[in-house]
Structures are given as structure tokens and as C-alpha cells.
Chain A
Amino acid sequence: MSRPVTLSNVRLVGGVVAARAIARLIRTLGRGGGTSAPGLVAEWIDPAMLTRLTSRLPHGSIVVAGTNGKTTTSRMIADVLTAHGHKVVHNRSGSNLVRGVVSAFAAQASLTGNPGGDVAVIETDEAAFPEIVRLVRPRLVLLNNLFRDQLDRYGELDTIARTWKTSLASLGEETTVLFNADDPGLTAITRDLAAATIAFGLCERKHTLQLLPHAADAATCYACSADLDYSRIYVSHLGEWQCPSCGVKRPDLDVVGRDVELAGVESLAMTIDQHGESDRYEIGVPGLYNAYNTLAAVAATRHAGVPHETVRTALESFRSAFGRIERVTYRGRKLTLALVKNPVGFNEVLRMLTAATGALTVPTLIAINDLHADGRDVSWLWDVDFELLATGDGMLGATGLRGADMANRLKYAGVAEDRIRSFPTGLAAGLDAFVNQIPDGEQAYILPTYTAMLEIRKTLADRGAVETFWQQ
């Protein structure tokens, strides 16, 4: 089908062409994935480009937001939709500010201004959420969780919740909001919307926490400000909550995850109840936090009309996004990389790594940078429960621009000083010095912040150990 030539279409096409040329140029120059500059240019040529392209998608857009798990969840959703025969437009590289989303669309759009797919999965940064929702007018909004993350960038958690609430209130009944009801903060901002809502959450007996972790936020009642009680706590402030003062409690769940089985750093299985059906899902991502991601992805894709057999089969072959959890062999050592970016995420990674024996026995390198994308403030390390590591005997190495802060944090967590090793600040040198300490054929863990992960991955890629992420 050809479109009439209009001025707005000329601008749109101009934006697409320019963005693609720039992405190609950046890659040719070897300056990385070219995931955001093209979007900046396209936005400049046609500010309405994202609205124009998404409005041409026959099956609309799914916007995925939340502090943790949004990259993994949106990849699961995109994989399932693809398996169902959709052609999916997706900012798969995890570049999730407005310009990153525009870049992804520009890369896939045809030169005549067609979006190049029939449905979009858009992962969005917390701060960019209101703008993306305004531009995209999604059919489905998925809200995973809201934790403390990079407060130096966002100001305060309350600020994000407030802007989300306003944004959600602007949605009409043609949109459905799928939200994690185990999060009292998300429950508060999804009440009384014109949009339809679907609540998902866990009913899990085995994987519970005894106490609310230190890093937990927002454990107060939205109605009366009393401190909430929990009958079960799953991750941070996510759980079965109720207010002892006014009786407000977790809403009834439309989609329930239960009987989660965790298999170390490898995989998980869980049962999901929805529309009166129960299905068992197995997926190659580990940890309870990924049970939440799986639950969200199943709820979203079932809502999009994908039969559960297709969902189940697609998720069975799912592998996690780059750096989230990755296993590579480097110089004969078996390395497991897991991204750490905020207290809740870090706590869950530590919980997963210590689940088998209750202690960390495998040598581990923690790589902390303080660049913009990591959060320039390393205070958050003091909100992570490293005290969990005090009992093990594995070596704990620190590297990165703020590796020294990390080593200090471990000391105050009660880790014996002879287990703490300070490696060179430069990540390539730090990585090699760490690996030198690991016997050939043995395994080790590497826990980097975002930019540290990019650099470690680049080092590993340059030496042939992993693929470069923008080729995935």
C-alpha cells in the first residue's frame, strides 16, 4: 500500500533516513552500538515521528516500565509475540530513553514511513515513562515494580510515583494497565483509572523473606500512611501486604504465580493461574526476581491473545538479555556475569548466588563504576545487604572507578579482610588480575554495574569470548 506524499510524511521519512545513516556511520567508525544518537537526529527532523509510526501498528504498542526486570520482561514478551507470528518492533538493546526508542523505530521503519512491524514492545526508563506514554498511546502498559534506583538522577522515589500516577490517569479505557499488585506503591497509583487494570502477583509458600530488607521502600499505606504489615515478603517490599490500621490490602489477583522452583544460577519453573487455567512454565533464567518477570510476560502475552502453548514453548527457549545473567568461558575459567544496578537487584543476585549453601563460596569480582548510567552516587552500596557474605570463604574482589568504595563496604559488612582483594581500577586490568587468581577450569562470578558491564563485555568480546550486544 502506498501512502500519499504529504509534508508530514516527508519529515517522517527524512527522520528515518537520517537516523539510519547515523547508526551505520557510528558502527562503521567502531564507536559502539549507535543506539541513541540516531534517535536524537530523527527527533530533531520529525518530533512526532514516534507517534506517527506507532499509530500505524495494527496491534498497537506494549510499554514496559519498572525499576528492575524491564529489559528481561520486554525481551520475553517480544520473543513470545514473534513466536506467535507477529513482526515486533522493539528497543531490544535496552536503550530506553525517548531517543533510544526513536532510534529503534527508525532502524526498523521502511523508507516510506511504515513502522516495519505490526506490534511494538517498548521498554522505558522510569523518568521517560510519561513522555513515552504520551507519544505512543499504548494498548497495554506493564508496570513491574518501583524500587530505589539512581536517586541522583531522579530526585526521589515519590517524584517518580507522582509523575507515573498523572501519566496513568491520562489513559483512556482503550488501554489496559497490567500491574504488580505485590507492590503497594504500584497498587496506589493504579487505583481509580479510566484504563482497565489487571493485577498480577505471587502466592508463594517457599521463597519468602523473614524481614523487610533494609533497601525496601514505600512500605506505608497509601490510604492512611500507617506502616504496612506483610504476611509474606518475596522481594524487597513486594509481597502479600495489608494495612493494620485501615484494612486496605493487596488487591485480588487476576494472574497468580505459585509453586516456584529455583535451580541455582540456571533456571526456574513456576505455575501460573489465569482465567481459571493453571499452566506450568519452565524458563532458562534464574532467581525469584525472574519469576516476577516471567509472570508479567505471561500475563502480557496471554492478554495479547497468544495461546498458552505458544507462550510456554517460546519461554522454554528464552535466554536472558546481555549482561543480566550470562555464562562465558574466558581463559579456561567459567565466568557467570550478573548485572547489578541498585540495592534490590543486588540483594536478589546475592540471594541467588548464596541460595544453595547459604554462603558465597565461589570467587567473585564486583565492578563498581560511577558514571551517569551507573548512578554517580555510590551511597547505594550501603543499602545492599552484603552482611550476607560475611560467613562464606570465597575471595571477594573489587574493581572499577569506585572499587575502593566497594572494598570498604565489604569490610564494614564484616567480611574478613584477607578475603577482600582490591584489583586495579581499570576494568580490563582488574578482570585479568582477578582471573589470574582463579585456577584453570574453575568457576567465578562477576557482578558489574551498567557501564562496568559494557566495558567488561567489550574486553571479553575483543578477546573472542562473547558476542557484541548490538548484534543480538
Chain B
Amino acid sequence: MTTERVLTIAWLYGSKMNIYGDRGNVLALAQRARWRGIEPHVVVVGIGEAIPPESDIFFFGGGQDQEQIAVSHDLTGAKGAAIKTSVEDGAALLSICGGYQLLGHEYRPHDAEPLPGIGLFDIESEAGPERFIGNVVIDSQWGTLVGFENHSGLTFLGETATPMGTVQVGRGNNGRDRTGGAIYENAIGCYMHGSLLPKNPKLADWLLSAGLQYRCGEGDLDPLNDEIEQTAHASALQRAFATR
């Protein structure tokens, strides 16, 4: 008799923060677990709902202004603290765009009150004068990562923050210092849609491995045939350099 391995993916505010095809990241994590015989449980955590204690991997996508305000309020207090504690204990986390901003210290809009974040990443963000729209490529510990950025927020790293990588194409965190995203323990955040994980399978597997390690201390993953993913990665890279 075999015990089926399971993995819980907590999709933070999945019904509100799901702009720009961010669910592709959840699909990638779930399918790449399933293809290895690991049963993924995807739990959408909405406003007013508690963080499931069994969460192994968190995903936090982007949203429109209105949604981001509601989510910021909901994150203050116990909920934000629960996410922070899980990450400090080893849970994996991917955040994109609006979600990334709310995991920093704060986000300052143009003409509204600053939105407090939970301070998981030592970053601060503010509304910038222009919108960065285009393909984005960064060099990172997972090799080249390719995605699409679409943000007017500028993110600046604090002294203790580590960037995910160096921008090769596009603007990244702020268009000035060539940093792309941030990494803290097994948590990452960045401005990369695309969707990011399906065409950057190494990063997807790093998150899966960290999530499994956190669940049961065993993070080894069987290799998969990633031919289609690698072709998508290469073609996206080629388009990014052609349209830079």
C-alpha cells in the first residue's frame, strides 16, 4: 500500500487578485505536482478567511486598485502574521505585482493613503510616473527567467533585501537599479506575468521542492520531460530580445 503524497497550495485572494493570467502559476504548480504522483490541494483564501495551517506553498497574484485596497486591510493582523510565520518556518511563496507590493513594508499610491504591507520582504513601493509594459528577462540562480511586466509601481529594496536577479531586458523593480524581484527564505516576489512558472519550469520546481521539504522534510523531485516548456521559454526569450 502506498501513501499518496499531498501538497497544499494556498492561493491568496484567488478570486480578486487574478489579473493577467496569474492563475497559470497555480496551474503549473498543481500539474507539475500531479505529474509526479503528488496530489495538489488548491485552497483559495478569500477576504475574512483564515490561512489554512497545512499550507505548503502560497501564491499571491496582482489585482486592480480597488481590490488591492480591500486585500491590504484584510492582511493586517493575524492573517499577515500567519503568512510571515509560515515563510519563516520554510513554506514556499510566489508573489507577483500587487501581491509582491503588499508583502513589503508599504505601497504608496499617487493620491491616496499608503497601503500597509506585512513586511515579509524588506521593500517599499510607490506609484511611479509611467507604466512599464513589455517583455522582461532576468538572470537569476534558476538561470534566465522570462515574463511580461505591466506595472506603474516602483519597488525599492531595503538594506536587508536580496534581489531575485539582474534585469537583462525590461525595467524590473524600478527601472533604475536593474534589480528584478526579491527573495527571502523560500519566498519570492517580482513583476513577472506571462504566466511566469509554466515557461520557467526550473523556478516552478524550486518552489515545489521547497514546499515538499516544508511538508515532510523530503524535497526530491522526479525529472519531467520539459520539451514543450523549454520551447516556450526559448521563444519568449527570443521575442523579448527582438522587442526590447
Please indicate the chain B residues that have their CB under 8 angstroms from the CB of A151 in the complex.
Answer: 19-20, 150
Q: How many residues of A contact B (CB 8 A)?
A: 35
Provide the bound-state CA to CA distance between A302 and B239, in Å. Answer: 48
Please indicate the chain A residues that have their CB under 8 angstroms from the CB of B150 in the complex.
Answer: 151-152, 377
Contacting pair B228 A379 (CB below 8 A): no
Contacting pair A412 B232 (CB below 8 A): no
Contacting pair A376 B148 (CB below 8 A): yes
* B231 partner, pick from A225, A379, A404, beta carbons under 8 A: A404
Counting chain B CB atoms within 10 Å of each CB, the highest count among A155, A157, A383, A425 belongs to A383
* A156 partner, pick from B21, B23, B65, B231, beta carbons under 8 A: B65
- Binary interface encoding of chain B residues 95-119 relative to chain A, with 1 for a CB under 8 A from any of its CBs, else 0: 0000000000000000000000000
Which single residue of chain A is at the shortest CB-CB distance from B227? A417
Contacting pair B239 A370 (CB below 8 A): yes
Contacting pair B231 A412 (CB below 8 A): no
Which single residue of chain A is at the shortest CB-CB distance from B201? A408
Distance (whole angstroms) from the CB of A333 to the closest CB of chain B: 26
* B70 partner, pick from A157, A225, A402, A407, beta carbons under 8 A: A225
Report A419-448 residues with CB < 8 Å from chain B CB: 420, 422, 425
Please indicate the chain A residues that have their CB under 8 angstroms from the CB of B235 in the complex.
Answer: 401-405, 425
Contacting pair B70 A379 (CB below 8 A): no
* A379 partner, pick from B21, B28, B66, beta carbons under 8 A: B21
CB of B215 closer than 8 Å to a CB of A = no
Report A49-103 residues with CB < 8 Å from chain B CB: none
* A417 partner, pick from B18, B64, B194, B228, beta carbons under 8 A: B228
Contacting pair A407 B64 (CB below 8 A): no
Counting chain B CB atoms within 10 Å of each CB, the highest count among A370, A380, A402, A404 belongs to A404
Distance (whole angstroms) from the CB of B230 to the closest CB of chain A: 9
Distance (whole angstroms) from the CB of A221 to the closest CB of chain B: 12
Counting chain B CB atoms within 10 Å of each CB, the highest count among A151, A370, A379, A403 belongs to A379
Distance (whole angstroms) from the CB of A80 to the closest CB of chain B: 37
Distance (whole angstroms) from the CB of B103 to the closest CB of chain A: 20
CB of B45 closer than 8 Å to a CB of A = no
Contacting pair A420 B228 (CB below 8 A): yes
* A376 partner, pick from B22, B131, B134, beta carbons under 8 A: B134
CB of A330 closer than 8 Å to a CB of B = no
Please indicate the chain B residues that have their CB under 8 angstroms from the CB of A381 in the complex.
Answer: 21
- Binary interface encoding of chain B residues 1-33 relative to chain A, with 1 for a CB under 8 A from any of its CBs, else 0: 000000000000001001111111001100100
* A405 partner, pick from B64, B131, B232, beta carbons under 8 A: B232
Which single residue of chain A is at the shortest CB-CB distance from B66? A158
Contacting pair B24 A382 (CB below 8 A): yes
Which single residue of chain A is at the shortest CB-CB distance from B28? A412
Please indicate the chain B residues that have their CB under 8 angstroms from the CB of A214 in the complex.
Answer: 18, 23
Report B112-155 residues with CB < 8 Å from chain A CB: 131, 133-135, 148, 150, 152
Which single residue of chain B is at the shortest CB-CB distance from A219? B15
* B133 partner, pick from A157, A376, A401, A407, beta carbons under 8 A: A376
Contacting pair A378 B148 (CB below 8 A): yes
Please indicate the chain B residues that have their CB under 8 angstroms from the CB of A156 in the complex.
Answer: 19, 64-65
Distance (whole angstroms) from the CB of A216 to the closest CB of chain B: 10
Provide the bound-state CA to CA distance between A405 and B135, in Å. Answer: 14
What are 5 A-B contacts with C-beta separation under 8 Å? A151-B20, A376-B134, A404-B228, A407-B228, A407-B232
Shortest 4 CB-CB distances between A and B: which pairs?
A382-B21, A382-B24, A379-B21, A404-B235
